[in-house]
Amino acid sequence: MLDAWTLFFVITTFALYIGIAIWARAGSTDDFYVAGHDVHPTVNGMATAADWMSAASFLSMAGLIAFMGYGGSVYLMGWTGGFVLLALLLAPFLREFGKFTVPDFVGDRYYSTTARIIAVVCALFVSFTYIAGQMKGVGVAFSGFLGVPFEWGIAIGMVIVFFYAVLGGMKGVTYTQVAQYCVLIFAFTVPAIFMSLIITGNPVPQLGFIGEAKGEGVAMLTKLNTVLNDLGFGEYTRSDKARIDMFCITAALMFGTAGLPHVIIRFFTVKSAGAARVSAGWALVFIALLYTTAPAVGAFARINFIDTVNESTYIADNEDYDARAAEIEADGGKPVPTWYKTWETTGLLAFEDKNGDGVMQYRGPDAPDGVENEVSPDRDIFVLANPQIANLPGWVIGLVVAGGLAAALSTAAGLLMVISSAVSHDLCRRTIFKDMTDKDELRVARASAAGAVLAAGLLGIFSSQLGFVAQVVAFAFGLAAASLFPVIFLGIFWKRMNREGAIAAMVTGLATTFGYIYWFKFVDTDPAHWLFGVSPEGIGFVFMWVAAAVGVVVALATKAPPQDIQDLVEDIRVPGMRTPHGSGDTEMAPLSDR
């Protein structure tokens, strides 16, 4: 699959990222942690979109939806609805609070080093599980498209991220994320527009999605339902999931999104609470561009896959493709499409001729004609192969690879900032060496960013050998929803919430969610034993309520927080009113807005 265009796009975009890194070097801890907190709201919105949309959003989500149909809606609603919660409940108030990290808020608001350390543990756990998947994605992209060994692919990714995260800190990360957003959205929408034109005749994928199949006088989705029914799959617009499970997974993803530290810290980089609100709106606009296109891509890809692959005659590698294809067509048959042959080598597609007729039968579990399924596509194929399915020029594939790398690297960088600031700021500056100078802290911050890059790379290599990345992603959202979200939310909206309640809530959320996911992913994998029929992916939502309830009960049973902390809460509720309160602000003054 080594292709000059792919090489060209990857090298050009990487050179761009390094160029930005050199231009946006960080000169102070302010620059390093929060990009000098004067990023324009729209720019921050774009950076947040890239920060948020990972390799999974770019590569896997449309394919997941193609397979799951309506069931895939949990990702669409879950990963966008969280931004409403962020904008309304967290972002403006955390910006008004005016520190550097999520553990900063937890530690200062709950006047407790213990609470800060627990928050650091949550943030590190969430970020490391997440970053392993990103580094793995980078390795896969390099090994699949540029013929570079998997480990070397990760190493190249590490060097690039090292450049802008260590040199530029949040400032470098912000501006490279903006560039990465442009690359990834262009790479995602261009093939989608062509797919939409081919299948529905409408250039706007969102409209083609609800339009008619081209030249057939029947709605595209109706056609898809009929086709899937005939092949023994469930209908596309029906669900294979229980309603309660859909509800809980959507909610766990939403609250998890709002509680993810690498998303929250992006809102510390704007200049005021008002700017944080507007910025969240822009972030969702940029995310929605991809997220409303993805379901259309999923449906188009499924139709196209069935149209071109099902009942086509297979051509083996040792045959002359063109001659054999002409022969098959002359016999009134359908030859296997060229894109299938190109992608077969990657192992993302597999054909097993079970009935020995040389024809590829694609069937669901209850096929009416009783034919066994012979074709197994990997879900990632649907985004990757789109440019070829749509007969787009070769350079578009290179663009898609560069887009996938941009999505993975931008998310990895955001996570690295959380990891390094948790170590250099929360552990070193705020807990162990309280009299550290700004200059020393910046040095430690760079060093811990470098260490974090190394750890992330090793984790990417190590975890893919174990093959558990997909399993642990459920951890990240579930833990963020159950451990971080309740304490941050109650810290703003309930003045009476105190140290004891916060610690109890975080420990409860962490222990219950971790225990449940671990048990049902690794020990007892039988869905029949799930609590209320809720899968490990959705359980974070249930335990979020348990954690919040435990927190509230413990808080009411113990002493109210000191007056200066209650004053602090009143201050962060009203923009422009922030004045120093409590021991946390004596140690480190809050950022001033204007």
Provide the binding-site residues for another protein, judged by CB under 8 A: 65, 70, 72-73, 76-77, 80-81, 83-85, 87-89, 92, 206-207, 209-212, 218-222, 237, 243, 246-247, 250-251, 272-274, 277-278, 280-281, 284-285, 288, 291-292, 295, 493, 570, 573-577
Tokens 């990023």 — which residue?
39
CA distance 521 to 527: 10
The nearer residue to another protein, 297 or 436, going by C-beta atoms, is 297
* Shortest spacing between CB 491 and another protein, in angstroms: 15
* Shortest spacing between CB 278 and another protein, in angstroms: 5
**DSSP collapsed to 3 states, 564-576:** HHHHHHHHHHCCC
CA distance 208 to 219: 9
Q: Which two tokens stand for residue 304?
A: 């196209």
The nearer residue to another protein, 13 or 202, going by C-beta atoms, is 202
Largest Cα–Cα distance in the chain? 86
- Long-range CB contacts (within 8 A, 24+) of 364-368: 364/228, 364/231, 364/232, 364/233, 364/234, 365/232, 365/233, 366/232, 367/231, 367/232, 368/230, 368/232
Are 418 and 127 in contact by the 8 Å Cβ rule? The answer is yes
* Shortest spacing between CB 260 and another protein, in angstroms: 17
The nearer residue to another protein, 84 or 447, going by C-beta atoms, is 84
Nearest to 105, CA basis, from 415, 420, 441, 425: 425
| Burial bucket for residue 314 (CB in 10 Å: 0-12, 13-18, 19+) | buried
**End-to-end CA distance of the chain, in Å?**
53
The nearer residue to another protein, 243 or 559, going by C-beta atoms, is 243
Cα distances (angstroms) measured from residue 137 to each of 25, 235, 462:
27, 31, 13
The nearer residue to another protein, 92 or 144, going by C-beta atoms, is 92
The nearer residue to another protein, 85 or 405, going by C-beta atoms, is 85
Residue 212: strand pairing partners: 219
* Shortest spacing between CB 497 and another protein, in angstroms: 16
Are 591 and 98 in contact by the 8 Å Cβ rule? The answer is yes
* Shortest spacing between CB 293 and another protein, in angstroms: 10
CA distance 425 to 448: 10
* Shortest spacing between CB 31 and another protein, in angstroms: 24
Strands 375-377 and 349-351: antiparallel
DSSP designation for 425: I
* Shortest spacing between CB 294 and another protein, in angstroms: 9
CA distance 364 to 233: 4
CA distance 145 to 163: 23
* Shortest spacing between CB 297 and another protein, in angstroms: 11
Give the count of beta carbons closer than 10 Å to the beta carbon of residue 23. Answer: 13
The nearer residue to another protein, 311 or 593, going by C-beta atoms, is 593
The nearer residue to another protein, 204 or 367, going by C-beta atoms, is 204
The nearer residue to another protein, 288 or 367, going by C-beta atoms, is 288
* Shortest spacing between CB 298 and another protein, in angstroms: 9
The nearer residue to another protein, 469 or 488, going by C-beta atoms, is 488
The nearer residue to another protein, 303 or 409, going by C-beta atoms, is 303
* Shortest spacing between CB 248 and another protein, in angstroms: 10
* Shortest spacing between CB 456 and another protein, in angstroms: 30
Helix-strand-coil percent breakdown of the chain, rounded to 5? 75, 0, 25
* Shortest spacing between CB 342 and another protein, in angstroms: 30
CA distance 20 to 163: 10
* Shortest spacing between CB 223 and another protein, in angstroms: 9
The nearer residue to another protein, 274 or 451, going by C-beta atoms, is 274
H or E element at residue 360: strand 359-360
Positive/negative CA dihedral, 575, 581, 582, 583: positive
The nearer residue to another protein, 89 or 450, going by C-beta atoms, is 89
Alpha carbon 231 to chain centroid, angstroms: 32
The nearer residue to another protein, 247 or 514, going by C-beta atoms, is 247
* Shortest spacing between CB 534 and another protein, in angstroms: 14
Are 480 and 256 in contact by the 8 Å Cβ rule? The answer is yes
The nearer residue to another protein, 295 or 457, going by C-beta atoms, is 295
3-state secondary structure of 351: strand
* Shortest spacing between CB 566 and another protein, in angstroms: 12
Cα distances (angstroms) measured from residue 443 to each of 32, 134, 424, 498:
10, 26, 9, 34
CA distance 536 to 516: 7
DSSP designation for 101: S
Q: Which two tokens stand for residue 224?
A: 């898809």
